[in-house]
Chains A and B, each alone.
Chain A
Amino acid sequence: MTVAGKMNQYQVVGRKAATDENPNPEAYRMIIFAPNAVIAKSKFWYYMHQFRKMKKTTGEILDCVEILEKNSRIVKNYGIWLRYSSRSGTHNMYREYRDLKLTGAVTQLYNEMAGRHRTRPRSIQIIRTATLEASDLKRVNGMQFAKKNVKFPLPHRVASAKRNMKALSSTTFTTQRPTTFLG
């Protein structure tokens, strides 16, 4: 069960335990998105025993290393292919996100799947991720921000009293409607 939160990217390498007949078994490497290394290793076995005849008791993890973003200072477009199970069946999906880091995009993905489809993190399997050029984007939402000279106003700005920000009104009742036009 993947607990959600900020996702990190891990490279997990594992293999079946060495035996007398098979002293040097083939090692398998997986890229896992998980909040921490413990869950990453657990997910590694979850996938490995779906794909190969290998499980935690019969195998060993050789390495689990966090993969950091090469350049987290520029905005990139990410395409993510995933498989998720809904209440009525399991489906494939392709989603796009704009973010500075791949792990940021994956975190956005989990949160958005939860919001839009009520999908819990345990039901989501990430098949593949890719960094895309602006011309390769397929979804309209990302495309409109990946253009040159994007500009838009911020209409209807509502002040909120959450977390020490300015409230809409200093009193509970007022006769004046607030100004939401800030240029």
Chain B
Amino acid sequence: MVFKRYVEVGRVVLINYGPDAGKLATIIDIVDQNKCLIDGPANLTGVTRQVIPYGRIALTDLTVKISRNARQKTLTAAWTEGDIQAKWDATSWAKKLASKKKRATLSDFDRFKVMVARKQKSSIIAKKMKELSA
């Protein structure tokens, strides 16, 4: 089992728990084996500079090139240069989170529309399968 996601300065993480749950942040320094110092940057993700334990974060595949204790200005520049927000939104992880969020806000009529769409999709597939097996 080779590890590809490391806790390191510049690693983009997703916060799982707490008041900033669901937001992205970057590791700017490591305190010890249980916690690290993260920063949004605050103007891009809404996460202020704080210490957070590893149990509350999930490591992503994205990293940013910064040095230890980068200031918010440098961090923001590195984020926009690396186009991190767009890269994150393109990952299937982010898309799944977004669709889960959307599903939770559906009204009954929306759920009806989803049901109809799924039935249409399955009938198209069934028709094609019949065509192929014939």
Describe A's contact surface by its main secondary structure: loop
A28 close to B (CB within 8 Å): no
Contact code string A131-171 (vs B, CB < 8 Å = 1, else 0): 00000000001100100111111110000100111100000
B 20-64 binary contact with A (CB < 8 Å = 1; else 0): 000000000111110001000000000001010011001101000
Is B76 an interface residue when CB atoms closer than 8 A count as contact?
no
User: B54 to A154, Cβ gap below 8 A?
Assistant: yes
Give A30-77 interface residues, CB cut-off 8 Å to B: 73-75
Min CB distance B72 to A, Å, is 10
| Chain B residues closer than 8 Å to A153, beta-carbon distance | 3, 5-7
In terms of DSSP, what is the predominant structure of the interface of chain B? loop
With an 8 A cutoff between CB atoms, is B112 at the interface? no
Tally of contact residues, B, Cβ under 8 A = 25
Interface residues of A, count at CB 8 A: 25
The verdict on A13 contacting chain B, using a C-beta distance below 8 Å, is no
CA distance A91 to B35 in the complex (A): 30
A182-B59 CB under 8 A given contacts A98-B32, A99-B31: yes
Binding site for A on B (CB under 8 A): 1, 3-9, 16-17, 29-33, 37, 49, 51, 54-55, 58-59, 61, 68-69
17 contacts between A and B (CB under 8 A): A74-B29, A74-B69, A75-B37, A75-B69, A98-B31, A100-B51, A145-B32, A145-B33, A151-B6, A151-B7, A151-B8, A153-B3, A153-B6, A154-B5, A181-B1, A182-B59, A183-B59
Residues of A within 8 A of B (CB): 73-75, 98-100, 141-142, 145, 148-155, 160, 163-166, 181-183
Give the top 3 A-B pairs by smallest Cβ distance, nearest first. Answer: A153-B3, A151-B8, A183-B5
